[in-house]
A and B are shown apart, each in its own frame.
Chain A
Amino acid sequence: GQQLNQSPQSMFIQEGEDVSMNCTSSSIFNTWLWYKQDPGEGPVLLIALYKAGELTSNGRLTAQFGITRKDSFLNISASIPSDVGIYFCAGRLNPNFGNEKLTFGTGTRLTIIP
């Protein structure tokens, strides 16, 4: 099946630092999504990307849909304590909205060192 690998697996940073993580796939996806999961909670959508090459921002978060459609990255600028959590990328084959399943990545755990 399709595999989405995220790197790094975990990150330990100081408050105020910028963060960069990425997601690579063995096959093409036509939609890329980035989610954040807090402990004991469900995934919350951060950014959605629908076109190859698209660069989208949401506040301090910026994500890009790779031109090959096999990768995406997420950047967080000037990290704050509430950024702590696990970040998942997710891909969908269908470029349209609909009921097609999401394939989730392996996750990047972000920890902020006091």
Chain B
Amino acid sequence: EPEVTQTPSHQVTQMGQEVILRCVPISNHLYFYWYRQILGQKVEFLVSFYNNEISEKSEIFDDQFSVERPDGSNFTLKIRSTKLEDSAMYFCASSDGGGGTEAFFGQGTRLTVV
């Protein structure tokens, strides 16, 4: 079964450092998303991406965040200057966007900011 893969599974970074979280969406999918989940809390939408541009973003997704699809397969989330409160699980998801299936989620990257 096709799956969304994320790397790394766990990233520890110092406050103020830049991090890049990587995702390989399912190959024929056109819509890409990032969600985050602070420990013990609900999953929250960050951003959606289609046709090489952001479709929608939440208030969490401020100027410190950016997304990119640098090639035909990867989808990345960059946090420019991490803060302690950025510590969370970050989930990438992808969907085909048509009359097909709902979004598939990756297994997540646990980001710990120290």
In the complex, chain A residues whose CB is within 8 Å of the CB of B31: 98-99
In the complex, chain B residues whose CB is within 8 Å of the CB of A100: 48, 56
Q: Is B95 an interface residue (CB 8 A)?
A: yes
Q: Is B113 an interface residue (CB 8 A)?
A: no
Q: What is the interface of chain B, defined by CB distance below 8 A to chain A?
A: 4, 31, 33, 35, 42-45, 48, 50, 55-56, 58, 91, 93, 95-108, 110
In the complex, chain B residues whose CB is within 8 Å of the CB of A105: 42
B98 and A97: CB pair below 8 A?
Answer: yes
B58 and A101: CB pair below 8 A?
Answer: yes
Which of these, B33, B99, B102, B108, contacts A41 with CB under 8 Å?
B108
Compute how far the CA of A103 lies from the CA of B46 in the bound complex, rounded to whole angstroms: 11
In the complex, chain A residues whose CB is within 8 Å of the CB of B106: 42
Compute how far the CA of A45 lies from the CA of B50 in the bound complex, rounded to whole angstroms: 22
Q: Is A40 an interface residue (CB 8 A)?
A: yes
B95 and A97: CB pair below 8 A?
Answer: yes
Give the nearest-CB partner of A41 in chain B: B107
Give the nearest-CB partner of A38 in chain B: B107
**What is the interface of chain A mostly: helix, strand, loop, or mixed?**
loop
In the complex, chain B residues whose CB is within 8 Å of the CB of A33: 102
Compute how far the CA of A18 lies from the CA of B110 in the bound complex, rounded to whole angstroms: 33
Interface residues on A, range: 20 to 34
A88 and B42: CB pair below 8 A?
Answer: yes
Q: A42-B91, A88-B43, A107-B42 are in contact. Are A101 and B105 (CB under 8 A)?
A: no
Give the nearest-CB partner of A42 in chain B: B105
Give a binary string over A87-114; 1 marks a CB under 8 Å from any B CB, 0 the rest. 0101000001111111111110000000
Of B33, B105, B108, which is in contact with the most chain A CB atoms at under 10 Å from its CB? B105
Q: Is A81 an interface residue (CB 8 A)?
A: no
The 8 residue pairs across chains A and B that have the minimum distance between CB atoms: A42-B105, A99-B31, A101-B45, A104-B43, A104-B42, A99-B48, A42-B91, A43-B105
Compute how far the CA of A98 lies from the CA of B104 in the bound complex, rounded to whole angstroms: 13
B34 to chain A, nearest CB (A): 10
In the complex, chain B residues whose CB is within 8 Å of the CB of A98: 31, 95, 97
A99 and B50: CB pair below 8 A?
Answer: yes
